[in-house]
Amino acid sequence: MSAIVVRHISTETHRALRVRAKQNGRSIEAEVCAILEGAVRPGRRVGLGTALAMLAKPLGGLELKIRRDKRPAIPAELA
């Protein structure tokens, strides 16, 4: 994986990055990577689960209690 160094960032920009990273539950470095990724690859597809999580995040998140039915599937009868 490649690395870059960004110098001479204003205090205000660094503070805004820190706030944005905290809101998204990421480090500043991870936040910068996400911003760059979105800027250069804007058409990147997001999975359904990720999209739903992004929608629920501003509302405090979403906790689903899912129980898997462990019974074997019943085969369909094709007539």
User: How confident is the model over 6-31, as pLDDT tens digits?
Assistant: 999 999 999 999 999 999 999 999 99
Which of 28-32, 42-46, 74-78 is the least confident region? 42-46
Q: Is 55 within a domain?
A: yes
Which of the four pLDDT bands, split at 50, 70 and 90, describes residue 52?
confident
Would you say residue 53 lies in a domain? yes
51 in any annotated domain: yes
Q: Is residue 41 part of a domain?
A: yes
70 versus 56: which is more confidently predicted? 70
Give dist(CA 22, CA 27) in Å, integer: 7
Structural domain includes residue 77? no
- By residue range, what is the domain housing residue 44? 11-59
pLDDT band, residue 50 (cuts 50/70/90): confident
Q: How many domains does the chain have?
A: 1
For residue 2, the model assigns a pLDDT of 87
* CB burial readout 22-52, b (16+ within 10 A) else e: eeeeeeeeebbeeeeeeeeeeeeeeeeeeee
